[in-house]
Structure 1
Amino acid sequence: MHEAPVIELGGLHIDLSVVLMLVVTCTIVFVIARLATRNLSVENPGKLQNFLEWAVEFVQNMISSTMDLKKGKPFLSLAMTMIMFIFVANMLGLPFGVVTEYDNPAKATIFGQEITSVTKVLAEEHEKHPGEEAHAEVAWWKSPTADLSVTMALALLVFVISHGLGMIKNTKNYFKHYVQPYPFFLPINIIEQLSKLLTHGVRLYANIFAGEVLISTIMTLAKASVVGAIFSVPLLMVWDGFSIFVGAIQAFVFVILMMVYISQNLESHEEEH
């Protein structure tokens, strides 16, 4: 497996590949949204406008499947942004990867900062195999959603929004829910909410990370021999196609669960039934 380019800054360990890929993802989403809304026309809509209209209708149907559309309309922009962001993030690791190799700890630096993950691996390799040349491969380009910290941050954002709305707009029913059907169910209901946070983030991470691991394995096969290179081409094409499908499904699942959680915290017990 490739190492992550981690540096230590102000006592924090920062993965530069994650920072880079989040910037790339945000830029792509912004450009797509800007191009789709640049020249809106009723009489002669362009292809991007038609796609945008389809996407808006699709997301509206997602929202209406979880709550009354009148209540859900304020969350249209949130849902659109989230599904676009996650889909683009899921796709970034598919077309190619950028990997650099280090064999000298002194050269494992960037912007004057030591890449601690590399120097640690090189030190461990020298300790295990003294006298032999050690090397570490660092992956700079990958899907940001293949990192647990990113998916858990997205899940935490949804958690804060949904519970914050519940406490502010549905205060009585929100707090009452924790002691239903009996007060001693309070710890169980709290654990249930925390488990939703955990599974919401881990589900997305596990699916995207597993896909990138398999891509890395196929690429390793391609480097092994000529036969491996020949067989790796159709394998990679098939898996990339399947990964696009998985990435789209995972974006849909994440956002539909987000709307379900918001709906559950906004609506009273009577409204849900």
Structure 2
Amino acid sequence: MEEHANPAITIGPVTFDLTILAMSTLAVLVVFGFVFWTSRQMKLKPTGKQNVLEYVFDFIYGVARDNLGEHYAKQYMPFLFTMFGLVLVANNLGLITHLQNHEGGLLWTSPTANMAYCFALSLIVAVFCHFEGLKEKGLKGYLHNFLQPMKLMLPMNLLEEVTNVVSLALRLYGNIYAGEIVIGLLLKLAFVDWFWTPISFVLLLVWLAFSVFISSLQAYVFTLLSAMYIGKKVNGH
């Protein structure tokens, strides 16, 4: 699925993309570091860094509450908060720099600019939704959801489950991948001729600002849709 031969290691029948593994690990560490740093010495009246953490928490809690209700919002906040933080950081890593090896393989990129990575995230959400729906409603109630509003809708409901996974992954991948492609083109433009260098620099700054906005928006949309899918499985909303 990738256009570039990224550094990789093969173990048995499985090939691991080392760039994606490294960037994913970095994203996890950034999210963990942020939460760890902002949650030290918390006070009843928040100030400074604690305000930042509580603002992000309240923002995601609002998304969860609107789609899950008060009870389920508290129950699934850890999952949604973690997913939002991971996707937000992963989306923006590729905006920091652009590194390639001599073979054209990427050494630094946003993990979410990789289609397989986005599908993996989408599948995690799907499996989590089905597992929680089965746990909350039991087997009979879980299967009954596929027959709503009538039994004839079973094929369409099953198809919807597939399209949810595909659309969730492709929406995220398409936006982040396209953003990195444009950044690469603007960087190449800077070396075409001295005349284009300042123009490329200005366009790059504008595009980077726009990309940060789009990346943050996509993290919000991914979390919002995840909350909606969970809500549909556990409480029928």
- How would you bin the TM-score normalised by the shorter chain? over 0.9
The aligned residue for residue 56 of structure 2 is: 55
AA aligned opposite 1:205? Y
Q: Distance in 2 between matches of 1:2 and 1:214?
A: 16
Aligned partner of 1:181 in structure 2 is 149
Aligned-partner SS, 1:140: strand
> What is the RMSD of the two structures over their aligned residues, measured on CA atoms?
1.5
Q: What is the aligned partner in structure 2 of residue 126 from structure 1?
A: none
| Residue 131 of structure 2, aligned match among 161, 164, 172 | 164
Larger CA Rg, structure 1 vs 2: 1
1:212-231 to structure 2, matched below 5 A, reads: 212-231=180-199
2: CA distance, partners of 1:54 / 1:7:
40
Contact 1:25–1:88 at 8 Å: present in 2 too?
A: yes
User: Which of 226, 231, 234 is 1:266 aligned to?
Assistant: 234
**Corresponding residue of 1:117:** none
- Answering whether residue 87 of structure 2 is matched by residue 86 of structure 1, we say yes
Q: Once the 2 structures are TM-superposed, how far is the Cα of residue 164 of structure 1 from its aligned partner?
A: 0.9
Q: Secondary structure of 1:185's match?
A: helix
| Number of the residue aligned with 2:223 | 255
Give the fraction of aligned pairs with identical amino acids, expressed as a percent: 30
SS in 2 for 1:4: coil
Alignment partner of 2:104 out of 116, 128, 137: 137
- 1:37 corresponds in structure 2 to 39
User: How does the TM-score come out when normalised to structure 2?
Assistant: 0.94
Deviation, 1:259, is 0.5
Measure how far apart 1:2 and its partner are: 4.4
Distance in 2 (CA, whole Å) between partners of 1:216 and 1:238 is 14
CA contact (8 A) 1:5 1:138 kept: yes
For 2:116, the aligned partner's letter is S
1:136-180: per-residue Cα shift (whole Å, max 9, x none)? 322110001101111111111110111111112113332112123
Number of corresponding residues: 234
Amino acid at match of 1:150: Y
State whether residues 60 and 69 of structure 1, in contact with CA within 8 Å, keep that contact through their aligned partners in structure 2: no
Structure 1 CA distance, aligned partners of 2:107 and 2:47?
Answer: 36
Distance 2:22 2:141 in 1: 42
Residue from 226, 231, 235 that aligns with 2:203: 235
Preserved CA contact (<8 Å) 1:5 1:17: yes
Q: Secondary structure at the match of 2:67?
A: coil
Question: 2:29 matched to which residue of 1?
Answer: 27
Deviations 1:18-65 (A, max 9, x none): 01101111111111111011121225x442100011111111111111
Partner SS state of residue 58, structure 1 = helix
1:67, 1:19 → 2: CA distance? 32
Shift of 1:196: 0.3
2:66 counterpart residue number: 65
Distance 1:230 1:2 in 2: 28
Question: 3-state SS of the aligned residue for 2:190?
Answer: helix
* 4+ runs deviating over 6 angstroms: none
- Counterpart position of 1:122: none
CA deviation after TM superposition for structure 1 residue 183, in Å: 2.5
Q: Output aligned runs, 1:98-113, within 5 Å.
A: 98-101=99-102
